[in-house]
Structure 1
Amino acid sequence: MSGARTELTLGPNLFNWAPERWRDFYFRIADEAPVAVVYLGETICSKRAPLFSDYYEAVSERLGAAGKTVVHSTLGETASRIDRRLVSDVCERTADLIEANDASAALFLRGRPHYIGPLMNVYNEETLRFLASKGAQNICLPIELPFAAACVLCAVAASEKVMIEVQVFGRQSLALSARCYHARAHGRTRDTCRFVCENDPDGLVLTTLERTPFLVANGVQTLSYEYLNLVQEIPALKAAGVVRYRLSPHSCDMVQVATTFRSVLDGTLATGEALARLEELPIDAPFSNGFHHGRPGHGWTVPNTNVRS
């Protein structure tokens, strides 16, 4: 797979945006962003899924008309009957490619070409081979895997004719829970949340007792406070055989983010200059790349070189 052309992808939107804002975001992605693959679908909370149903078809058609491959993502956690029904409906009624984000979706998709999302725990070679034998064609690695482990999995993926995808930008998903943190923070339950998560387009920042930003809550999901940024690691990832590079949507200018990463992948922009451009984004949080370097995930390794991939 190391000889395959690299592709930039846009992961599913993890947050609860107003439906019209959600629609307009993807319309702009279709028209302006240099991404090859766009993942659509609710991966965090089944209660949110109906909010976007009126626009889902129009968004899919707009993306397809722009030449982008649309992949439908499933929930990352199935804790209720409603969750299970949503997963089964997506898997059974969607003819397009589907990304499984938990084992229940993978069960429905066995024997059918499909993708594996980063919320699945693909940590070793045997897991990768098993999923490939069931029809997995693309595997997005968990964000906590260090680069050394990704290299091993890239080698196995090449022999199995599976593409490896790595998230390179955006807050990192750390955990999922049966409880909704957003609802609890406002004195509500998951069933009576009244979609309070819509007030935080990039998640609800949590602080320590010393008022230091620490983590981010997004409904039942815990995210990193820092934004993952692997733009300086692109050359090494390409050399290792990573084919796809995932951006996670946020409220910042994702067209600018995509254009910057695409330029680095094409070798027309040096990593140092790309990092400088990304640092200009109005993001109220630092960047991190700790997991990639086998260190605590919130950490940041200062780039040593300014290279073109």
Structure 2
Amino acid sequence: MTILQVMNSFFYILIYPYVINTVGVDHYGLFVFATSIATYFMVFINFGFDMHAAKLVSLKQEDSQLHASLLSSVTVAKLVLEALAIIVFVLIVLNVEFLRSNALLFFLCFANTLSCIFLPTWYFHGLQKMKVLTLIQLSFKLLSLPLIYFSIKGEGDIAIYTAIVVFTNVLSSSVSFAVAVKMSGVALKWPVFSDLRTLLHEVQPFFWSTATNTFKQKSVEIIIGSFFGMKELAIYDLANKIFSVPSLLASNINAALFPIMVKKAKKNVVSKVIRIEFFVGLLCILSVVVGGYWVVDLV
């Protein structure tokens, strides 16, 4: 799972030199800026479902009825949140001159929120079958490579690049959702409104935790883009991409152990995991210190 996710993250570093040299640093920085704003809405639409629903699935991995019920409830709840997000986003774009002047790019990036609706990461996580999801996402990214290389010809093509990225994400999410429904083996039914309200109440703590962390990370990108320029934002984005590859080594330990720890958490195991992650974290930092310069130079 770690190898596949590292390859998945490495995908954007792979195409980075071609894209940034073709569309230009400033245009690419604008894409990163628009993506950062869209991420706020993606967190709102995900609303902490991934952690809570993964926990429920991991506790009852053989309960197909529960799986189908969660697939229905989470998807419909996200559709409702998507509708609210669209209204807010349109109002913001109409009232902010900078966003309005680049409306096409910002709306294309916002369209990526559709991938949140149909991406059942929590389902595969709870079943401990993240490899299936990662293979689907990686396959679609690799298929998009020819489209990117043959479609992007100049600075005016940043919108085309954005459309390809968003379309790939939405399509891979839709396929993942179809696979999840097939794996559950039970037909989906329209959920009861009271169940949706209960679900939204239960996942609120997870939402605030995720929202706080995302706000901290993405606000840095918004500040850099607003006060220093899109070129500087593009450079910062490259640094984040390079950092994300080794950092997956640490984060995947948690992802792999989560379903098991939900069932039977042991203090000595948690302590051991923390010690291992501490040394893995140091290894990640060391890899960036030693190899970071050469990676940036190569790109």
Q: Normalising by structure 1, report the TM-score.
A: 0.30
Relative contact order (alpha carbons < 8 A, sep ≥ 6): 1 or 2 greater? 2
Q: Which has the larger share of strand?
A: 1
Considering only CA atoms, is the larger Rg found in Structure 1 or Structure 2? 2
